[in-house]
Structure formats: structure tokens, C-alpha cells
A and B are shown apart, each in its own frame.
Chain A
Amino acid sequence: MAYRFPSEQWIKEYQRVINSSEDYKKSGATWTAGPVCLVVSANPSVGLDKEIGIWLGLQKGVCEEIKIVTLEEAQKAPFVITGDYARWKQVVLGQLDPIQGMMQGKLKLKGNLPTIVRYVKASQDLVKCASKVDTQFADE
């Protein structure tokens, strides 16, 4: 079954995939730096009238909480990565490495860069998990 990105169903499936990933469990095992929020910029053409955030409550290799939040709430996360819909689609499809995306300015990071860099493998594993979610995109 394909899940529409982004939606409540998609994030729940994403959480399930993360928490069944042995790779992420290992690479994120020491992560205690707090939640990460992925913000998708507003894009009415795909049904996003305003920005939304995907809040990932990550702690020691486990995604304890996942929820869709407003931009205002998203900004409370210690790590916020922002990109437009097309960029996130590339990430979910595994076509854009998020670290490279940040380096090239395609994704914007707010948060402590050394921490993100230190957990580069964990971030890669999270992306791998996203690419395993059977995803339906609004522009297809």
C-alpha cells in the first residue's frame, strides 16, 4: 500500500520502518541530542498551503515519537532541516543525500552542525528508511 507524502499515515509507517531498522538502531544508539524536525515548505500545487514539519523524537537509536507539526512548533526542535517539496521528494526517493543537500544549500539546517556531522551515518540510515516507505507523491 502506498502512503501519501506527507501525511499521518506516511509518518506512522516511517516510524515503523525506522524502529525495525537494525542499522539505525546501531548508528543512532548514542544520539541524545533531541528531536529533529523536517520542514516541508508550502506548495499549494501539491496541497501544502503552509509549511508543515515532521517531528522525529529520536533517542538512542529509537524513534520514540513522530508527529506532524506547525512551522512554529517545528522551530522548537534543536535540529530543523528545511526544504521544498521537490527536494524532500528527492531525499525520500534516495536521489539526494541530505548531507550533500545541506552542503549545496538545497536543504537548510538550523542546529549544531558538528552534531549532525558526527551522526552522518545515522542520517543516512534514516534516509534509507524513508526510501523503504511505499510512497505516493502528490505531483504524480
Chain B
Amino acid sequence: MGGYKHRILEVDLSTGKMDISDVGEDDKRRFLGGSGISAKLFLDRFDIQSNPLSPENPLMIMNGPLTGTNLPGTSRFVVCGKSPLTGIWGESACGGNFGPELKMAGWDGIVFRGASEIPAFLLIEDGRCELHDASDLWGMDIYQVTDFLKASYRDGKQVKVFAIGRAGENLVKFAGIGNDKGHFAGRTGMGALMGSKKLKAIVVRGSGGVEPTLREEYSSLLKALIPKVKASVPAQALREMGTDSGMDLGMMTNDVPIKNWTSTQDFDLSFNLGGPSLTEKYLTKSHSCYACPIGCKRVVKVADGPYKTEEGPGPEYETCCTFGTMIMNKDLAGVIKANDLCNRTGMDTISGGAAIAFAYECYEKGMITGKDTDGLELVWGNIDPALKLIEMISERKGIGSILADGTRAAAAKFGKGAEELVTEVKGLDAPMHDPRGWHGMGLGYAVSTRGACHLQHMTLYVEQGMSAYPETGLETTYKGPQSEGKAGMYLISENFGVPCNSACLCIFVLGCLSAPDFAEMIRVTTGWKDFDIAELLNSGQRINLLKRTINCLLGMKREDDRLPKRILTPLSSEGNVPDINLMLREYYTLRGLDEMGRPKREILEKAGLRELISKLY
């Protein structure tokens, strides 16, 4: 069976013992890999009720069958575990080159359990796996430790590094993990989980390859897909302007959150913060993840001024919002500086930026004062205090330590109604797409299995009309501010999008391909000769139900599938909001959930998940 190495490295950080495991062939086909396989392992092998920052909570880094093939968009791998930020299922996908290198070293994934007594890093060179003392590396930022480790193992093929910074070390609950400086597993606090294990970094070098089963068909498919991706307009937009290409159009369609979700259309902001400005003013070059014909990653430099920044990875669209529109800052150089600081400290720019924008509004409303902020004046439009807050959060200093626990916890601490200023679901801050412009996205935020999320489904692409997948039942045009019919659209886009993080395919590349293309990629790689769109969608459903089951066992109920008050408040007298009750009602029926939010017995049975019934009922 191509696409898999059939070996998972098991590392017990408490004892230093390592072992090799695998999952059965049947489970590979049922859960594909990535977050699907990880969820299965989590439920089967671990105490899911354990504290997220305890040694009992595993840190799982998992490839999918597509990772490391030469097919387009196959750089992806996923980091999973119980989220320190949300307390439920956590996962964060990442691009770059670490996942492919891990597979070339002969591994489908790594499962860490326990916790090291001293800081450690794991070195993998093909079958040679060693834990090393990282005491001297503890305290370094991600750029420093990456450079250090690459220089330390410079002989031979370049190593790939996956590391945490100060935020992860200090257990900031939205800390991420960085691969070679420019690629991050940002969401749900997997960096804090890694930090709790005193694991500073993983260094990998592989000499093998990733062989598909159906080689001739694979070659033909590869030849067909690369020009197809290159020719698509979304790919051209991403190549020329990065993900920030979405800013201008998003402003037009009310997709962009402004002033901590309280204001509407400001074309001055998008003009200054959008992809064209980033390209014209600060881009030095672009680069690609492994096997990507798009190349959306930006390399930028701010040559001078107060936000002077060395040449390095540039901000994504989300970051241009969180440190731009969300705090009314229109200085893109300041956003680049904020992005650089977050990258170095290893902090999710979405949750980090959301926490800071939330603090700005609390300050404006008098819920916190200069006494709370060490004198920082959190005034809309001024990014300087935000830059200081990034440091305070990553070092857990002053108010930074409160914000480091996430917006939900910080709001509870501040009181005075601060809870109403927070835009999160299940503890995960909403990404930078406003459901008041796109109601289907609102349903996605409400029911996604890791909290408010735009990447566990294809709704962003489908609802906004950038891509269409008629073979799945997804139509080509949907009206954004409309709730009727959206549950049906969302369900399919979820079943179709979930396998992205299991088979491990970049969602941006999928946005340029068709549903048959995606199914075919899996078929020719694995050799599952009858794998088709129907099985792809069934896999998505099965994996979604598995993750939902985990969350139910962790206490999630129907009332947790909700939207925050902010999203249910119109932005103007003409504005509308998602009819979340309608969409939830329809979604629950279509997904087969009971009144408590649990998958019904018959749905689990039909999805081939009979083993979950006794756990839930």
C-alpha cells in the first residue's frame, strides 16, 4: 500500500524509551491518516480525560498518505492532542517540508507521551532516533533554535526543524510550533502541549522516498494536475499576492472583521493592508511548501522606520486582519513586525491577535486600565502596544499572563461584561472571516470539532464562489448572507474538507482542483482501486463523527454548538446575522445528531463506527 511507511515512532519522554507501532490496514482506509488516525489513536490508547498539559496527554504528529508524494499540495502534516486552549480535541495542520522529510525518513508519524525532566530535542535520521539534551536551547526563539540546529547538523542533506519558542516554553495556551521559521501549526495550542513535555524541537533528515502504488496512473495524474493548479485564478492570486489577496475582496463582501468585530467596511484599511500593498511595498520574494505549484508564502522585509524587520516570512491574510483591521491599524509595516514577533516567540497570530484586539476594546470600555496594562495605552489604530503585548504574552508578564490563557479565560478574569466582547466557540477564537457576511461559515464555526474554524471544511471556498465541486452536490453559487439551505451545503463541504487534514492535502491546492482529482490522488497513491468520491465523502463523515464523539466524551453538548453574541449582533441597521438556530436544526438532522449533540447510534453504525456506540451510550 503506497503512501504509508507503516511505522509510527512512539517516544516516551518520561523514560526515554522508544518503540515502533502501526495501525491496521483497515483503520488506514477508514481514517486515512493525519488527524483522522490521530483521533483514533487518542480515543483507543489514551486517557482522554487527562489534563491537556499533563504527561498523559499525547502529542501526535502525523502524516497522511499524500504527504511527501510529488502530487501538488502534499506538504501537509497535522499535530494533534487534547487542546490546552479549549480542553477538547485539538489539531493544527502545517505545511512546509517537515512532514515530507519525516516520511522520507521512514515514518508515518510520531506519538509522544510522558514528559521529559529536562529540555530535550528529538533527532531522527532515517531509522536512527535519539533524544538529546536541549537545556542550552531552552529560551531560544524559533528562528534562533532553527538556525542553531540546522548549523549543528549541516553535513549532508539539510535537516528540517519543527520547534517551539518562548510561548510554547511558557505554556501560552495558544502557542504554536514552527517548521523552518515560515510554516506554523498555529491553532489550538499544540506548542503549549509540546512545551509541557519539555520538548524543544524535532530535527529530521530522511533519505528515502514516497512511492505510490499505481505508478503509471500516478505519473499521468501528476502531469495533469500541476498545469491545472497553475492555471487556476485562485492559484494565480495566491502566487502573486499570497493569502492576503483575500483582503480586498473580503472587505467588499463583509468578510473582514474590523475593530474587534464591531465595525464594517473600511476600504482605506484594505487598500493599505491588502495583498497588492504587501506585494508592492514589502515583498522580496515568494516561496513554496514542498511540492506546491502555487507558492503562496511571502518573504518580506521592512528596510527602515520604526518597524524595521529583517527579511523573513511575511504575514498571512489572517495576521493582516488580527494586527491590522482588528485593531484599526493600517500600517502594514507594523503588521509585518507583529508577525515576525509572533513567529519568533511561536504564537498563533489568530488567537494572539484576537486576545490583543479584545484587550484594546476592554481598555476602551474601561474594563481594564493603564494599571492593568503596565501603562500601555491600548488605543485603536496604534500597533505599538500590541507589539509590546506579544512579548508580555509570550513571557507571561503582567496582563500578558492573563491573555496567555486565551480570550475566554481572560474575559472571565476581567469580568464586567468582558465575556460579550469575545468571539470564540468552544474556546477557540474565530478566524478572520465574518459569518455575518457568510452564514454558512457561521455554522462551521458553531459545529467544527476544534472550535471556531474555517479549515475543517471547504465552506470558505464554496460559499464565496471561488471553487465549485458539482460532483459532490455542492453548487456553484450561494448567497452569502442567507441561512436557508446552508446546512446542506455545509455538511457536504465538511465531509469533503475533513479528509484534507487526514489524507493531508493543502486546502488552497484543493481549491484549485476538483473532487474527482482529490479522490484520484488518494486512489493512485494508496492503490485502493475502488476509492472514489463517495468513499472520500464517507471518510470525511466518519472522521468528523469520531472527533465529535471524543468531544462529547469530554463534555461537549448541544449548547456548545453556538455562535458568540458578537456574531449574532448586526453591524448596522440594514445588516443581518446568521439564523444559527435554523442552520443547527437542519445540520443536526442531516448529520444525525441527537438532542445532546451526540451522533445517533444508527449513524455511527452506518458510518462503520460501531465501536463508539458503547462509549457514548
B256 shortest CB reach to chain A, Å: 12
> CB of B414 within 8 A of chain A?
no
* Distance of A97 Cα from B233 Cα, bound (Å): 14
> CB of B18 within 8 A of chain A?
no
B286 shortest CB reach to chain A, Å: 13
Q: Which residues of A from 78 to 133 have beta carbons under 8 Å from B?
A: 95-97, 99-100, 102-105, 109, 113-115, 117-118, 120-121, 124
Residues of chain A contacted by B271 (CB below 8 angstroms): 118
A64 shortest CB reach to chain B, Å: 23
* Distance of A121 Cα from B247 Cα, bound (Å): 12
- Whether B233 contacts A118 by the Cβ 8 Å rule is no
* Distance of A117 Cα from B237 Cα, bound (Å): 9
- Whether B465 contacts A117 by the Cβ 8 Å rule is no
A59 shortest CB reach to chain B, Å: 19
- Whether B465 contacts A120 by the Cβ 8 Å rule is no
B439 shortest CB reach to chain A, Å: 17
A25 shortest CB reach to chain B, Å: 14
- Whether A113 contacts B240 by the Cβ 8 Å rule is yes
- Whether A115 contacts B276 by the Cβ 8 Å rule is yes
> CB of B234 within 8 A of chain A?
yes
* Distance of A132 Cα from B493 Cα, bound (Å): 35
- Whether A120 contacts B466 by the Cβ 8 Å rule is no
Q: Which residues of B from 231 to 276 have beta carbons under 8 Å from A?
A: 232-234, 236-237, 240-241, 245, 248-249, 251-252, 267, 271, 274-276
- Whether A117 contacts B245 by the Cβ 8 Å rule is yes
Residues of chain A contacted by B549 (CB below 8 angstroms): none
Residues of chain A contacted by B465 (CB below 8 angstroms): 97, 100, 103-104
Q: How many residues of chain B get a CB closer than 8 Å to chain A's CBs?
A: 26
Residues of chain B contacted by A121 (CB below 8 angstroms): 248, 251-252, 267
* Distance of A92 Cα from B79 Cα, bound (Å): 47
> CB of B468 within 8 A of chain A?
yes
Evaluate whether A114 and B276 lie within 8 angstroms (CB atoms) in the complex, with A120-B252, A121-B252, A124-B252 already known. yes
Residues of chain A contacted by B467 (CB below 8 angstroms): 103-104
* Distance of A9 Cα from B414 Cα, bound (Å): 65
* Distance of A67 Cα from B271 Cα, bound (Å): 31
Judged by DSSP, the binding face of A is helix
- Whether B232 contacts A100 by the Cβ 8 Å rule is no
* Distance of A27 Cα from B466 Cα, bound (Å): 23
Q: Contacting B276 at CB < 8 Å: which of A95, A97, A117? A: A117
> CB of B476 within 8 A of chain A?
yes
Evaluate whether A117 and B249 lie within 8 angstroms (CB atoms) in the complex, with A103-B233, A103-B234 already known. yes
> CB of B345 within 8 A of chain A?
no
Q: Contacting B476 at CB < 8 Å: which of A27, A99, A104, A109? A: A104
Q: Contacting B466 at CB < 8 Å: which of A103, A115, A117? A: A103
> CB of B464 within 8 A of chain A?
yes
Q: Contacting A100 at CB < 8 Å: which of B251, B276, B279, B466? A: B466
Residues of chain A contacted by B248 (CB below 8 angstroms): 117-118, 120-121
* Distance of A23 Cα from B248 Cα, bound (Å): 17
Residues of chain B contacted by A95 (CB below 8 angstroms): 477
B261 shortest CB reach to chain A, Å: 21
* Distance of A95 Cα from B276 Cα, bound (Å): 27
Residues of chain A contacted by B276 (CB below 8 angstroms): 114-115, 117-118
* Distance of A87 Cα from B248 Cα, bound (Å): 23
Q: Which residue of A lies closest to B245 (CB)?
A: A117
- Whether A120 contacts B249 by the Cβ 8 Å rule is yes
- Whether A114 contacts B233 by the Cβ 8 Å rule is no
* Distance of A114 Cα from B276 Cα, bound (Å): 5
Residues of chain A contacted by B251 (CB below 8 angstroms): 120-121
- Whether A113 contacts B252 by the Cβ 8 Å rule is no
Q: Mark B474-487, 1 if CB is under 8 A from A, else 0.
A: 00110000000000
* Distance of A103 Cα from B271 Cα, bound (Å): 20
Q: Which residues of A from 45 to 64 have beta carbons under 8 Å from B?
A: none
Q: Mark A28-43, 1 if CB is under 8 A from B, else 0.
A: 0000000000000000
Residues of chain B contacted by A117 (CB below 8 angstroms): 237, 241, 245, 248-249, 274-276
* Distance of A118 Cα from B281 Cα, bound (Å): 14
Residues of chain A contacted by B240 (CB below 8 angstroms): 113-114
Q: Which residue of A lies closest to B246 (CB)?
A: A117
Residues of chain B contacted by A97 (CB below 8 angstroms): 465
* Distance of A103 Cα from B251 Cα, bound (Å): 17
Q: Which residues of B from 279 to 314 have beta carbons under 8 Å from A?
A: 279-280
* Distance of A35 Cα from B249 Cα, bound (Å): 21
Residues of chain B contacted by A114 (CB below 8 angstroms): 240-241, 245, 275-276, 279-280
Interface of A with B (CB < 8 Å)?
27, 95-97, 99-100, 102-105, 109, 113-115, 117-118, 120-121, 124
Of the A-B pairs whose beta carbons lie under 8 Å apart in the complex, a sample of 14, sorted by A's number, is A97-B465, A100-B465, A102-B233, A104-B468, A105-B232, A113-B245, A114-B240, A114-B275, A114-B279, A115-B276, A117-B245, A117-B249, A121-B248, A121-B267
Beyond A104-B466, A113-B233, A114-B280, list 10 extra A-B contacts (CB 8 Å): A96-B477, A99-B249, A102-B233, A104-B467, A105-B233, A113-B241, A114-B245, A114-B279, A120-B249, A124-B252
**Shortest 10 CB-CB contacts between residues of A and residues of B:** A100-B465, A114-B276, A118-B276, A103-B466, A120-B248, A103-B233, A117-B248, A120-B252, A120-B249, A102-B233
Interface of B with A (CB < 8 Å)?
232-234, 236-237, 240-241, 245, 248-249, 251-252, 267, 271, 274-276, 279-280, 464-468, 476-477
